[in-house]
Amino acid sequence: MTSLLRIDHVSKAYGSTQALDDVSIDIRPNEFFALLGPSGCGKTTLLRSIAGFEDPDAGSITVTDASGGQTDLLVLPPNRRPVNLMFQSYALFPHMNVRRNVAYGLEREGLSKDEIAARVDEVLATVGLADRAKARPAQLSGGQRQRVALARAIVKRPRLLLLDEPLSALDRKVRAEMQLELKRLQHEVGITFVVVTHDQEEAMSMADRIAVMHHGRVQQIDDPVTLYSRPANVFVADFIGSGTLIPGIAEGAGLSALGRVLPCHAPAPVAGPAVVMLRPESTHLTSIDDASRLLDGTVVETHFYGGSTITSVRVSGLQPPVVVRTAGAPRHSVGEQVGISWAPADAVLLAADDGTLAADPGAAV
Ligand SMILES: Nc1ncnc2c1ncn2[C@@H]1O[C@H](COP(=O)(O)OP(=O)(O)OP(=O)(O)O)[C@@H](O)[C@H]1O
Ligand SMILES: [Mg+2]
């Protein structure tokens, strides 16, 4: 498939900080693409490089234009690039009403009054703010202000819209609504979206594909399901979703750990120090004498989440407890001895990653 935006071996350092380290990503037309990673991993630097507010030290960024030709973005000033960046901390003009805020960018482009009015009306309807057009930013809720910022970015009809943490200012509930909204909007306006977030659930729920970044490097680019079920390394396994990581030594098609060989699946050949990743919903509890059990443990905690239960099981020799998700109410009590099992295909074997687990407990903020 031809890409719309090609980021090719891009690097950028600030003094001794390598903000981007040999980043290559192809973004497809009409894709909802997410850049995901912990604070400081280079997400904003990459967006700013695409938009033209940052000059990479090396690499190229090109866009495929309508005729199929390649345009080198790095030689163009920001205002000549077919992209629009919605900043991490967007600012609306407080003295202008919603309509003027949205129209501002078009007025500066010198479009006719009629065309501006038509386009602003259309965009305000799309983001559901037609009836708030005369309000000032101070009279809006956080979610509505975010919508104005979005409307302002969309109204210019860029081929590519770059959104830096577009929902970070919102509380949890509004945020969940806006995630769906953003997805619908992207579908409706037919613009390619690149959205930055450090929230893995947000990325998973919205994006067609996700690039996971860490220390300026791309760790994996895949669709959400593949990232979750087939992480490329321990960092991704730990950062995406929840689960249990058991360290040991790769041995044939298994992991030698806790005095036995645990059955698992190795997407890529692994030798030496390794980790097996178990997802909570693919890990099962059995009775303590069940012949199919792979580990024995003691229930230390149960949490009922309405539809499902998370049970934490302490296994001798293993630091964090094994987490198991089951449908319905808790079926085991704290202190109970249980067996643990899984299908080998659901347990992913990964090469151990020197220190990643200990060094990086996940996203800051
Ligand atoms: N102008 C700058 N001068 C010096 N260092 C910078 C500058 N901008 C960014 N950095 C550093 O580059 C690294 C990447 O920063 P960046 O803003 O891209 O991270 P981020 O992934 O967007 O993080 P966050 O999730 O916190 O927004 C960080 O270590 C940051 O401190
Ligand atoms: Mg940032």
Q: Which domains, and CATH codes, for the chain?
A: 5-226 (3.40.50.300), 242-353 (2.40.50.140)
What pLDDT does 12 receive?
98
**CB distance 48 to 102 below 8 Å:** no
d(CA 34, CA 20): 16
pLDDT of residue 359: 34
Q: Which of 36, 43, 168, 215 to mutate to test the pocket of ligand 1 (most atoms within 8 A of CB)?
A: 43
Q: What is the pTM of this model?
A: 0.87
Tens-place pLDDT, residues 106-141: 988 888 999 999 999 998 988 889 999 999 999 998
| Per-residue pLDDT at 1 | 61
Looking at residue 362, what is its pLDDT? 37
Q: Which tokens in the block code for residue 133?
A: 């057009």
Query: With a 6 A CB cut-off, is 99 part of the ligand 1 pocket?
Result: no
Quick one: which atom of ligand 1 is closest to the CA of 38?
25
Cα–Cα–Cα angle for 244, 292, 298, nearest 5°? 50
Mean pLDDT of each 10-residue bin along the chain, 365 residues long: 91 97 96 96 96 97 90 94 82 93 89 94 89 94 86 87 85 80 85 92 94 97 96 94 94 92 92 95 96 97 94 95 95 96 96 58 34
Do residues 206 and 54 touch, judged by C-beta distance below 8 A? no
Residue 354: what pLDDT? 63
53 touches ligand 1 (CB under 6 Å): no
Number of H helices, E strands in the chain: 9, 20
Position 363 scores a pLDDT of 32
- C-alpha to C-alpha distance for 193 and 180, rounded to whole angstroms: 14
